Structure 1
Amino acid sequence: MHHRRQTWPEPIIHKPVYAPSAPRPRKLLLLSVSAGAGHMRAAEALKAYAAAEFPGTEAIHLDAMDFVPAGFRAVYTDFYLHLVNRHPALWGYVYQKSDKALTNSPTQKLRRAIERISTRPLRTAIRAAAPDAIICTHFLPAELLAREIGKQSVVCPVWVQVTDFDLHSMWLQPLMQGYFAATEEIAYRMRARGLAADAVHVTGIPIMPGFGQTLERRQCAQQFGLDPGRKIILMMSGGAGIGELDKTVQKLLALPDDFQLVALAGKNAALLGNLQQLAAAHPGRLFPFGFTNHVEQLMACADLAITKPGGLTTSECLAMGVPMIIHSPIPGQEERNADYLLEQGAALKAIDLTALAFRVQQLLQQPEQLQRLRQRSLLLGRPHAGRAVLQTVLSKLDSPLHSQFISPTP
């Protein structure tokens, strides 16, 4: 389906949020949705950069799912995780259909009506926060705010941070101040769908400041009980612990190569328990961990990462220069992320466990190929995307006048 290019309305000009001669603390509101961990991590990264590098800036992060009824939250988050974990092909179908859905179709109108009814407390919380600017790391709050801006219930600029190396039509909402894209290609696609050139900024995807630091392998390895003199493979299943990581671990532990396997189960307690039982039978080889805020330290000592290609995890690996084998991508956004990595020569892909075992052995026995993947990753990485996003948002607030860009209805 071809997306017709929309005409660009005249911008709405707002008065300055505050007088430059008498500055006051600037308040940023970060809105995300806990459907998977990536959207939340992007918002937390922006909050961390604001605290560390932008004095006089207060950043507040709200999860939209904290302000909706339990039934809506179950459908929007739990059902999503169930689909991608148990019925990935069905999720892929939903992803494709929703990307091509007409904005004014009865189904889309019904969906938006349900969302409006379910998110009244969220809209109240947004108004109570009285922010100078809003950054959305998920399309749901952006869609809700587009309607609020149209009614002039929200008058501050609203920005949208796309968190994948792909562009789904639901990210494109009218009346947004601007958009942040992961790559030049995504920015090109945004403009092709009618966004003004100066409303699109190529920054990368925000990740925590720690991923931009230089960390010493030996020190990081010893912190986790690992031997820095042996190969270290890091396995990740996303913040929610999606996938049958324990079966994958068993396959890799059967390989004859001498390596240490670090397996991250995220917030999946049952998966972590299974991995701990396996670790007891393979002392010195398997090191399971649950959800951790120190992934950058594990990446600093990893020779290779086996991972699902979520937008945030991918961005973190690229920033740290960690070679990747992509395994079990979710149809839809993760498949598009995987395509980007493969096209750029920053990763290999394993279509099943047999292929994964082959890829691991191949890379461990060919260090020059590992080095090529590492170099390509470092070239693509944008470790300080969060800083670039905040610089853009705050520079608009600091300008004598900042205008409200109006994006077309996709």
Structure 2
Amino acid sequence: MGIMRANGPPTAPTRMTKILILSVSAGNGHVRAAQALEAAVQSTPPHTAVHIDAMAHVAGGFRKVYTDWYIQLVNRAPELWSYLHQRTDATPHHSTSQRLRRGIERLSTGALVREIRREKPDAVICTHFLPAELLMRERNRGRIDYPVWLQITDYDLHNMWLVPGMAGYLAATEEVAFRLQARGIPAERIHVTGIPVMPAFSEPDAPALARNACATALGLDPARPVLLMASGGAGVGDLASMVERVLSLGGDSGLQVIAVAGRNAEAHGRLQALATRHPGRVAAIGFTNEMHKLMAAADLVVTKPGGLTVSECLALGKPMLLISPIPGQEEHNAGFLMEEGAGWLAYDTIGLDYKVARLMADPAKLAAMAERSRALGKPRAAAAVLRHVLGEAA
């Protein structure tokens, strides 16, 4: 093993170490965590990383159910998803229903297992439980001998993450670690690292992320308050409507909004129309690779509490107003942030308007929330993960 450094992974051992990172594109967070780990590995030569999205190597029908069905379910039937989330959390790993689920997965993922074998890695990090379960079976049958690690990507623990036989379990917080141990995972295999974020979020005090400079680059006035609004959803309306209501809260000299539509061309067009009607007050953004700069410019981030989005906000020390949490994991993420003082939750349209107005009128409260957010942040989580994984693999 190489020499440990205070703020990074070990220096390179004497041989090449190939790390395979496996994600699942059911939602975007698992993939983003994997990309962050891939970037961290690539920055520590001679180590190399290969990132595989498991859904690119499974049967088409299985992929549709696992990804499209999940998205449709949480959007159209959140009550049903909430029930399923709670029911599966209470179902033991060895139960008949769980064994049946894993059997179906094995029948649908043969190509993925073959692809993993072809890579011949020295170690594997999974940012989703599906590939971890497949590799657990391979290991139990003596087909692999390299360590497999599991990165949990939320701020609470669900039963599906309890895959036995992992070399290590990488947790976001001490409470997640406590819950892992309470559910039977050996303490020596549990490591509190945080959730990996991209290198752009790992240096929150870098000059490139200075708040005023980032606001000015977007055409906004750094002397006035700035909101970042990254999503709409159930109960609070679509993004353009949210932005329009927020703009009315402060009159002509009030709040400024950075609104991120992502790949939604229709939403982006509506935001651009708003920007035209409110010159100098709206930065309408489509797809972007510079979310770190948009967050840096903001005094408050209005967003869904996905595990990776939360981790990015915490890394940059941003207070959050949380909206439309998916039942189960995102509700638990929101609960964590509210308990710790880094976020508020808006249940509906009226609550969103009220809480935006109240927070933006109380700079001391915002500053206190930002301080709590920064204290919770783990901007170098990816390096912390690699300190454990490379030590095991070397």
Fold agreement, TM-score > 0.5: yes
The reply on whether 1:112 has 2:109 as its aligned counterpart is no
Q: Deviations over 1:275-332 (max 9, x none)?
A: 3333333332222222322111111111110011111111111111111111111110
**How many angstroms apart in 2 are the aligned matches of 1:140 and 1:21?**
30
Alignment equivalent of 2:262, drawn from 266, 269, 274:
266
Asked if the contact 1:319/1:378 (under 8 Å) is kept, the reply is yes
**How many angstroms apart in 1 are the aligned matches of 2:175 and 2:86?**
19
The reply on whether 1:217 has 2:217 as its aligned counterpart is no
Alignment equivalent of 2:114, drawn from 117, 120, 124:
124
1:231 corresponds to which residue?
A: 225
Asked if the contact 1:132/1:157 (under 8 Å) is kept, the reply is yes
**How many angstroms apart in 1 are the aligned matches of 2:84 and 2:269?**
32
Task: Give secondary structure in 2 for the equivalent of 1:314.
Answer: helix
**How many angstroms apart in 1 are the aligned matches of 2:13 and 2:255?**
59
After TM superposition, the structure 1 = structure 2 runs for residues 328-347 of structure 1, keeping only pairs within 5 Å, are 328-347=324-343
Alignment equivalent of 1:91, drawn from 48, 64, 81:
81
Asked if the contact 1:237/1:243 (under 8 Å) is kept, the reply is no
Task: Give secondary structure in 1 for the equivalent of 2:137.
Answer: helix
Asked if the contact 1:85/1:243 (under 8 Å) is kept, the reply is no
Task: Give secondary structure in 2 for the equivalent of 1:34.
Answer: coil
The reply on whether 1:248 has 2:242 as its aligned counterpart is yes
1:327 corresponds to which residue?
A: 323
After TM superposition, the structure 1 = structure 2 runs for residues 266-345 of structure 1, keeping only pairs within 5 Å, are 266-345=262-341
The reply on whether 1:168 has 2:158 as its aligned counterpart is yes
Q: What's the TM-score, normalizing by structure 1?
A: 0.87
User: Is the deviation greater in 325-334 or in 98-107?
Assistant: 98-107
Structure 1 segments unaligned to the other structure (5+ residues): 1-19, 399-410
1:396 corresponds to which residue?
A: 392
Gap change, CA 1:363 and 1:178, over 3 Å in 2: same
1:40 corresponds to which residue?
A: 31
1:243 CA drift (Å): 7.1
Gap change, CA 1:21 and 1:323, over 3 Å in 2: closer
1:65 corresponds to which residue?
A: 55
Asked if the contact 1:92/1:331 (under 8 Å) is kept, the reply is yes
1:21 CA drift (Å): 12
2:367 corresponds to which residue?
A: 371
Task: Give secondary structure in 1 for the equivalent of 2:249.
Answer: coil
Asked if the contact 1:40/1:63 (under 8 Å) is kept, the reply is yes
**How many angstroms apart in 2 are the aligned matches of 1:95 and 1:279?**
40
1:220 CA drift (Å): 1.7
1:407 corresponds to which residue?
A: none
Asked if the contact 2:268/2:284 (under 8 Å) is kept, the reply is yes
1:218 CA drift (Å): 2.7
The reply on whether 1:380 has 2:371 as its aligned counterpart is no
Asked if the contact 2:34/2:127 (under 8 Å) is kept, the reply is yes
**How many angstroms apart in 1 are the aligned matches of 2:145 and 2:272?**
51
Task: Give secondary structure in 2 for the equivalent of 1:287.
Answer: strand
Q: Deviations over 1:19-78 (max 9, x none)?
A: x998321100000001111000101011111122x2211011100010012221111111
Structure 2 segments unaligned to the other structure (5+ residues): 1-10
Q: Percent identity?
A: 53
* RCO higher in structure (CA 8 A, sep ≥6): 1
* Counterpart code for 2:245: K
* Counterpart code for 2:346: A
1:152 corresponds to which residue?
A: 142
Q: What's the TM-score, normalizing by structure 2?
A: 0.91
The reply on whether 1:361 has 2:357 as its aligned counterpart is yes
**How many angstroms apart in 1 are the aligned matches of 2:111 and 2:160?**
22
Task: Give secondary structure in 2 for the equivalent of 1:254.
Answer: helix
2:8 corresponds to which residue?
A: none
2:194 corresponds to which residue?
A: 204
Gap change, CA 1:172 and 1:243, over 3 Å in 2: farther
Asked if the contact 2:257/2:281 (under 8 Å) is kept, the reply is yes
* Counterpart code for 2:321: I
* Counterpart code for 1:245: L
**How many angstroms apart in 2 are the aligned matches of 1:25 and 1:310?**
35
**How many angstroms apart in 2 are the aligned matches of 1:243 and 1:38?**
23
The reply on whether 1:27 has 2:18 as its aligned counterpart is yes
1:178 CA drift (Å): 0.7
User: Is the deviation greater in 282-291 or in 81-90?
Assistant: 282-291
Alignment equivalent of 1:348, drawn from 344, 348, 353:
344
1:161 CA drift (Å): 0.3
Asked if the contact 2:12/2:45 (under 8 Å) is kept, the reply is no
**How many angstroms apart in 1 are the aligned matches of 2:135 and 2:298?**
41
**How many angstroms apart in 1 are the aligned matches of 2:226 and 2:13?**
53
Asked if the contact 1:38/1:311 (under 8 Å) is kept, the reply is yes
